[in-house]
Amino acid sequence: MPQIKIVTEVAGRVCAVVASTGGSIGSGDDVVLVEAMKMEIPVPSPAAGKVVSILVSVDDVVAERQTIALLET
């Protein structure tokens, strides 16, 4: 099965991890929330599948276009 990288579009601080490793997720479902400029910005899944790994934790600082999770479709 192919793996898809889930990336964040903004730099900021991870304020919540919504998805869990091994869990199923739908297309458009939130994976994490990133706080940037005092706003919580959701990072959605681009496809439905199984979350293989979450690569960030709460309070981690992420860069724009950083891979935050891997999804198996």
> Model confidence over 6-50: pLDDT tens digits?
999 999 999 999 999 999 999 999 999 999 999 999 999 999 999
- Rounded CA gap, 12 and 67, in Å? 13
pTM: 0.91
pLDDT average, residue stretch 43-62: 97
Domain 3-72 sits in CATH at 2.40.50.100
- Rounded CA gap, 73 and 50, in Å? 6
Sheet holding 12-17, edge to edge: 39-44, 30-36, 12-17, 61-62
* Residues listed for the chain: 73
